[in-house]
Each structure stands twice: as structure tokens, then as C-alpha cells.
Structure 1
């Protein structure tokens, strides 16, 4: 029953909905025509009575930055592409002050162009790329206070976009009853190798994306205080950079790091300088005017040289590593802590999820080498670890040939190299990070995917198409629920992970009714849950006495 004090308001509302506009030159006054019902349906006191559907079925929203227009995504959520910031080349980006579609488009159904990157048609990217796509469940009302999940794509900081395969956030938004925002940011040299010395531009772009979400989330039924940031591979590295940036702390309350190559750590300033100097040498351009006029093709060519030769080839910056040498730098002012074991972690209370997949390094190892004799194991390890670390690795019980490494009666050393690569780049360094996070006061939940869905591109590496082999990126479509024709095991894990994500977004704990208990990590036992299986993952070489102690991670070895 409507309470007495609402009757006058409701009567006025009904009158307003039915009144005919008086003659007025609207265009001359430059006042946009607004449907009164759309405004009234966004008033918490009236939406229940005038708009039983929540007033949100029209796909238009009145936000503090103007009217947002969206479309119905084929998977059921309402989809809103938007430009969240603008920037000049190698300058700090500026937060958007009005709601604008990406790339100056007037087509609300058009998705944003990617940021400039190699091996992509120039028609598919633009420097005007600081955009995101919001996926909003139709059931949300302005009173919902729903959580917000901000997804940061991977791609070694040189490729990727908000529209990459599998990143349609519609099913994930519906399953978790949350707003899903998929964000893109400046990549490669444009985001991380500014000749003028501006560091971490790509990371600061994401800060602006989070500021933008804080402003607009309430207009879509979301809560600006219930933001979780999530990402895979370099997207997870980006999250670790945000965790190390005090200025970002108030913009999110929890984090999900999938397959973060934590072994590398953040770049130190000296290593970043080596990369930057080589980039400037390759573009052959020292003045600001010249740099502003550089063709994107020349920038990408110089960037490719730096990426491919930092720790291989010319090997001018071995501490950068080979997988994602261009990455955030601990500059001391914005990113103030390494968040690795070379220094104490700052005190924290944020909960995190840290996950890897069972065969992280398989696509890299099997895609780089043909079958290898056992005699090749030590020399190839030495290319990465040097002699001292290699001696310890080769002599340990953890990386001896196993029955699965025998092919046609011969040992294939790639099987051992795959386990080493998975352990040191992702799994064990992630466990070390999680133990330190708990030591600093935060909760950490650690897991490993033992069921996955082959991500496009992995099918070029035959081992990644084999049953029970879960390669890097094979967790992405499980989380988003975008697997085509999923098997029963995949469907079960999709349902499980989306239930766990819903719980984590809501209360910082991934445990939900009917699911196996996911125990939080401690400083001595991370309790890594087998995602898609049963029980916990055995420690193996992730024992604290081996990786990070007997064998140093790269961030320890080089720094």
C-alpha cells in the first residue's frame, strides 16, 4: 500500500507524465528532449510504483555524464560501449567529462576499436582507444547496489582489446548479477615507453577507467564501493601494479589475478631505461615534435624490436624477461612497492583470488621447440636461468623425466621444460606472492584450473588440443561462460566458477552453497584448490624451500 506522504508525489508524477509541453523553442535553448518517465523512474521513491520493471528496460540511462545509450547483447545483458578518457600521444589521459561513444562513433551498437598493436589491420585500431564496454543485467534497478567486476585483458602488454575472443561479459554479468566492465588501455610503447619519461601511462589509463566507473555505476544499478578488478596474464600483472599503487587503493575492494607471471616482478627503473633508450634509438627521433608526428607503423616496428630482443637476441635487458618485457615500472612515486619478496609487503586487508592453469607453459614450450632429447634439458634451462640456477633445477627431484615425457620410446625434454616453466613463471611465484599477501594481513584464495577450454590460437600447438591439457588462456572462456558447445565437465566448471565469482564479488569469499570448501591460504599452506577436479594441488617445487629460496625467481636474481 502506498504510504500517505507519497500520494502528493505520485499525483504530481502522473500529471507530469500526461502534461502536454507548452510551446517552447527547445532547440534554440539547446535543452535536450527528455522523457519525463525516464527521470521519474530513476527516483528511488517512485521507481517501485511507476516503473515495476525498474525503469531500466529502455536501454537509456541518465548518468552524471549525460545520457547513455545501449543495445541488447545477443546473450541477454544490456551493452554500453563508452569512451572513458582521452589522451594525446605519450601524455597522461584525461577522464571523460561527458558520455561519448568510442572513436567518435554515433552507432551505439558499434564496439570500440583496439589500441594500436602489431599484426592487426590498421583499420581495426586507433590511438583514440581509451574505451570500455559495460554489460548490465536487465534485472538491476537503481536500488540494486550490485557489485561491479572490471576485467583487464591480457596480451603481454602489446596485444589485446576489450572485444577479444571470449570477453563478451553478458553471460558473466547475468550469472553473477553484477555489472561487468571490460576495459582497454594503451599498449606497448604508447602505454609504457614514452620518450618524454612519462611512466606507467597504461596503468594510469586503468585508474581513469576505475574513476569513470565510480562515477557512472550507480546510474546502472551498481555500487561504486563494491568494485572488484580481475584480469588474466598481463591483465593480472596490471592488477598487481594497481595493488602496488596507493592512489588506486580506494577505487576497488578486491582483486582476481589469473595466470599472472609474477616471477618477473615489476620493472626496475634501470631496466626500464634500457628499454626506453633502445626504443628511442630505433625510432631515431629525439624531439617532441618529431615524436608526435611518428607514424604508428614506425612506433610498432621499434616496439617489436624492443620486445623481441630485450632478453633474447641482442639481450640488452635480460632482467626484463622474454614473455612480457614491456610492463609496469616501480617508479617510486606512483607504484611504490615491488610486491615481491625483495621487500616487505605493505599492510593490506583486501581479499584476492590467485589462480593458474595446469599447463601454463605448454603452448610456449611446445610451440617453440620440436621434440627434444633429454640431453637438451640442461642447456635450454641455462638459456633462462644461467649455470648456477640450472644446476639446482636439473639436480632436483622435481624435474626428472616422467612416464608422460616418453614419446615413441624416447624421452622428450619438452615435458620437463613445460613443468619448469609453469612452476617458476606462474604457479610457484603465485604461491609465494599469496603467502606474502596473507602475511601482510589480506585473505588469499589460491587455485589451479584442471579443466579448461582451448583458447583460439592454442589450437596451433597440438599438445594444447589434447584431453586434460590446460594451456595458458584456457581459463578465460570458462570464467566468461563463452565456451562454444561446452562439454559436461566444462559446463559444470563454468557454473561453479560463476557461482564462486558471484560470492567473491559480494563478500570477498569464493565459497558458495553446494560447492567444495575453498580454504583460504595461510603463510605455510596456500590450499590451492583443483578447479574442475577434487582436492588440493600438491606443492611439489612450490615448497617455500625451493623456488624463491634454493632457486631464485628472476626478480630476486636480477635485483
Structure 2
């Protein structure tokens, strides 16, 4: 490397030139598969073609086709768009001592969230500098989104976006040593849709052996049968007036396609239903329901760190006014539609006498969709005697921005230690506690390096590391009465099944 040319590495596909500063080298926009255009648009990813000479890797690559978040989320969740066809690219941040990369370093591969229709690896909050500063090779990945990544067609494979992630992990296995990373110490981590993807990867035979630890942030194992997952594709096809086939969609102007996709999925809600893109159980990349597979022992040898924010729901409920608009009657109607048992709802109301009906509804939604399934998975791994460690966390520091509290996605700037960025402060405000970010970031680094984030494994006392609102501390069985209200529902259902049998 010379001072004016930047750091260079040689991968199996060709040489790359990045940029270095303060002991960290960044290689951006690196292709891991061929551009998914033309005949490859609705096909599985194909390996990138080798190149001659040195490829410049100093700018983020193209992002997958998408639409911006609707206001006011567009201001809270900056989501840059980079034009171009080659969206199957990734970024690498690595420790760099001036003479070259290190060797045998832990690797972390980031899978972004965004409901499978938003997001990219170019989001500033996901800058990997702090991880590289602390001895980790950080890789962040782009993958196909929306109808092009998760449409379900009779004439194309399902889960193309998930197949993209597996292709990126294969690239990491084959190339990360050039950046100082150890391909035998890879941690996959993701948030929201990225966490759902990570959970699916934990059960996929196509991803077996490509990673060794996993972090699931604010997402739970979930996938739909093909027939149900196909409904969103058919609804978009009906809006466009074309057959619900990959061949027909390939002939639709992309802007028109994105507009129809947004119209169909824009009003969907995880609590009350509606059209949305989901990972599908396709019998191939996802052979069976991930929650069932994991409960039955899939990836029992993989160390697993999981958790949520305390008030996930506030990112959607507060800006939209749901917390203020929902009264007792509407709350009951929505809970009935979401099939929340009345006994469970009564436990939450009794434990939250000062909260608005919309806030109680949000707490129920957070637990139904996230906290309860993750607790159930931790319990299943404990019962099965999983060889690897299982660790749970909760992020509870409350943002003052728009009264969002400890909302969905708030922990990201703490995990990546990017609190100083204006894009992070859009959600955290200017005075987020640096010591909390240092502690949370250090836990993720420790987990990647050793499999231990710094607190005891999941056991019958239900230890949960809570990051905020004060100093990090382990709390045993937080809000246990509410969690048990869901567990009691399962026991009653199983009892009825035994009796009727």
C-alpha cells in the first residue's frame, strides 16, 4: 500500500483497492454475485465474474430497487438510494496496521432490516468502523427486496433475497481471509427483517457451515407456507393487471412495479394482518417452519444471542397517533382480530394501570410478535440441552425524540457505536449515553470473538441483560406475569387437545 493509493487486497475474484483511516480499512461496494438483471432478474444469484486489474472499492454499491419510507419514518430511518443494477454487493471494514490486514480475526456479517422492502448496507448507522477498531472484520450485505427478492411465483424459485444472503456468506467463506478474517469464526447478525432472515438461515441446509454464531435483534423465527406467501404476489399482479408469474413481472416497468408494491403492502400490519412480504417455506432453502425447526434442535451447536427493545411498538404507534386514537373499545376489537386471549389482555391491563389503551395494545403486540417467541426458543434450546450458549437481552433506554421511548431500531446506533452520526441522532437525539453504547457494542464484539457476550447463559432463572434505562444489569424473568399469560394460553390449548383426543 502507498499513501496515495489506498489499501489493496487480493480475493479469488480479483484485486480490490479501498480506503484507510485511523487503523481501519474499508472496502465498499464489492460485488459478491452477478447483477440480477435481464435473464438473471428472477433467478438465484450467480457467482461474480473475476476481473482484471485492481477494482476501486471506495464507494457504496447500488442498492436494491425500493421506495423510501413514508413520512415521518423517512426522517427517523434514513435510507439512502444508490443507483445501478449491481445491487448484490457488500462492504468490508477490517483492522489495518499500515502494512496490511491482521489474521484469524472474528468476522461479523450484518443483514439489514426494513420489512424486506426497505434498507441497505449503505445506511450510515451501520458503519463498521467501530467493529474493525475493536478487532472484528465487519461485512454488511445488500440483497434483493420486495417482489424481486421475496415474490412467490410458479416459474421462479422462492426466497431469492435469502438466497442472496447465502451467496454473500459463501463469498465471506471464500474471501474473508484476504481481509484478515477467520472463515471458521463467522457471526451472522441482523435486526427486524434481518433478524427474521438470520433465524431462517439458522435452519437452512444451504447455509450450513457458513456461520457459527448468530444474533437475532427484534425479529423472531417466522415463515409462511408457499400458498399464503403467494397472496401478496397475486395482489400486486392484480393491481398491475398481469399474470402472477415471474415472466410477466419481468416485463413491467420497475417504477410501476414499485408503485404497485407500495400500494398493496403499505397498509399491512403484523398485528392485524394485511399484505406483506415474508420468507416462504419452500422445501429447499427453507425446508420447514423455522420456529419449529429451531425448537426441534436445528443449529443447536450455534451460539445464539437474541433480544428486543422494551417498547418496540412505539416506532409505529406513536408517529401514526395510534397510541392516542385507540380507546378501550377499539383496543378490544383489535385484540380480538389479532386473536389475543381476553385473559392475557386482562393481565396486561392490570399491570399497566397508568398506560393508555393504545400503549397496552402495543405492549401486547411487542410480546406476541417478538418477546414471547424468543423466550420460547430460548426455553426450547435449554430443554434440548443445546451444546451452544443461548443469551437474551433487552434494550430499555428511552429516546426523547417524538416520545418514541425504547422503540424498534433504537438499539442499532448503540450496537454499531455510531451515536455521533446525524443519521443515528435522528432517532436517539443528541444526548444518548455513550457509556451504554460502549457496553452494548463491547458485548457484541465479545460474543463474536468468544461466543460469550458477558453475562450468564439462559437457564431456569431466565436471565436477561438489560441495557438501560440505567447501567447495564441482569434482570431475572422481567415482566414474568405477562409472559406467563401467554404461556398459560398454550397450556390451556394443549389441555383441550388432550381432552378432546
- Using the size of structure 1 for normalisation, the TM-score is 0.74
Distance change (3 Å), C-alpha of 1:280 and 1:143: same
Structure 1 CA distance for aligned equivalents of residues 284 and 17 of structure 2: 38
Whether 1:463 and 2:409 are equivalent positions in the alignment is no
SS in 1 for 2:260: helix
Aligned twin of 2:497: none
SS for the counterpart of 1:98 is coil
In 2, the alpha carbon distance for the partners of 1:339 and 1:368 equals 32
2:390 to 444, 450, 464: 444
- Map 1:99-118 → 2, pairs under 5 A: 108-118=57-67
The question of 1:519 aligning with 2:462 is answered: no
Matched-pair contact (CA < 8 Å) for 1:83–1:100: no
Secondary structure, counterpart of 1:536 in structure 2:
strand
SS of the residue corresponding to residue 183 of structure 2 reads strand
2:475 is aligned to 536
Question: Secondary structure of 1:228's match?
Answer: strand
Aligned equivalent of 2:16: 68
Give 1:296's match in structure 2, choosing from 226, 248, 254.
254
Q: Identify if the C-alpha distance between structure 1 residues 370 and 193 changes in structure 2 by more than 3 Å, giving closer, same or farther.
A: closer
SS in structure 1 of the partner of residue 433 of structure 2: helix
1:211 corresponds to 2:170: yes
For the residues of structure 2 that align with 1:222 and 1:276, how far apart are their CA atoms? Answer: 39
Contact 1:83 1:99 in 2 (8 A): no
* Partner of residue 89, structure 2: 131
Structure 2 unaligned spans of 5+ = 70-78, 492-501
In the TM superposition, what whole-angstrom CA distance separates every residue of 1:177-212 from its partner, at most 9, and x where no partner exists? 011001110001110005334200000000000011
Q: Give, in angstroms, the shift of residue 66 of structure 1.
A: 1.4
**Which residue of structure 1 lines up, in the alignment, with residue 448 of structure 2?**
505
Tell me if structure 1 keeps the 8 A contact 2:42–2:246.
Answer: no
Q: In the alignment, what sits opposite 1:277? A: 234
| Alignment check: 8 A CA contact 2:149 2:161 kept | yes
* 1:351 partnered with 2:271: no
8 Å Cα contact 1:85-1:96 kept in structure 2: yes
Q: How much has 1:141 moved relative to structure 2?
A: 5.5
State the match for 2:496 in structure 1. Answer: none
The change in CA–CA distance for 1:361 and 1:345 in structure 2 (over 3 A counts) is same
The alpha carbon displacement at 1:489 in A equals 6.8
1:106 Cα deviation from its structure 2 partner: 6.7
Q: Among 350, 370, 373, which residue is 1:429 paired with?
A: 373
Match of 1:119 among 65, 68, 75: 68
Q: Please show how residues 169-184 of structure 1 align to structure 2 within 5 Å.
A: 169-175=128-134, 177-184=135-142
Q: Is the 8 A contact 2:6 2:20 kept in 1?
A: no
Which segment drifts farther, 181-190 or 286-295? 286-295
**1:115-174: per-residue Cα shift (whole Å, max 9, x none)?**
111138997344420111100111396662101100011101100010113111011221
1:394 to 345, 349, 358: 345
Supply the distance in 2 between the matched residues of 1:271 and 1:381 (Cα, whole angstroms).
26
Provide the rounded CA distance (Å) in 2 between the counterparts of 1:381 and 1:137: 54
| Cα pair 1:351 1:508 within 8 Å, conserved | yes
| Cα distance in 2, alignment partners of residues 207 and 387 from structure 1 | 33
Structure 1 contact 200–328 (Cα < 8 Å) conserved:
yes
Deviations 1:354-410 (A, max 9, x none): 021121111212223356478x235335325438634223322x23374642xxxxx
> What is the CA distance between 1:542 and its match in structure 2?
6.8
- Whether the 8 Å contact between 1:453 and 1:475 is mirrored in structure 2 is no
Question: 1:310 offset after TM fit, Å?
Answer: 5.5
Which is further off, 341-350 or 267-276? 341-350
What CA distance in whole angstroms lies between the structure 2 residues aligned with 1:344 and 1:109?
A: 43
Residues 172, 479 of structure 1: 8 Å contact kept: no
* TM-superposed deviation, 1:547: 2.0
Which has the larger displacement, 480-489 or 252-261? Answer: 480-489
Kindly state the Cα deviation for residue 541 of structure 1 after the two structures are TM-superposed: 5.2
SS of residue matched to 1:116: coil
Deviations 1:457-500 (A, max 9, x none): xx4xx211xxxx21111110101111028988722122222322
| Equivalence map 1:283-432=2 (5 Å) | 283-286=240-243, 290-308=248-266, 321=273, 325-340=276-291, 344-347=295-298, 348-369=300-321, 372=324, 376-386=327-337, 389-396=340-347, 398-400=348-350, 402=352, 404-405=354-355, 412-432=356-376
Which of 45, 52, 70 is the aligned partner of 1:93?
45
* Distance in 2, Cα, partners of 1:164 & 1:122: 6
The match for 2:486 among 531, 543, 547 is 547
Aligned residues between the structures:
460
**1:73-128 superposed Cα distances (whole Å, 9 cap, x missing partner):** 5x652111201112321111112242699xxx975322112111113899734442
Structure index of larger Rg = 1
1:160 maps to which residue?
119
Name the structure 2 match of 1:45: none
Matching residue within 485, 491, 494 for 2:434:
491
Q: Specify the alignment match of 1:79 in structure 2.
A: 26
Aligned position for 2:409: 473
Cα 1:181–1:100 shift into 2, 3 Å: farther
CA distance in 1, matches of 2:238, 2:156: 15
From the superposition, tell whether residues 525 and 342 of structure 1 become closer, same or farther in structure 2 (CA, over 3 Å).
farther
- C-alpha distance in structure 2 between counterparts of 1:291 and 1:190, whole Å: 9
Distance 2:113 2:390 in 1: 22
Deviations 1:266-304 (A, max 9, x none): 112221122222222223233765432311112112222
Q: Is the 8 Å Cα contact of residues 151 and 230 (structure 2) preserved in structure 1?
A: no
Are 2:207 and 1:248 equivalent residues in the alignment?
yes
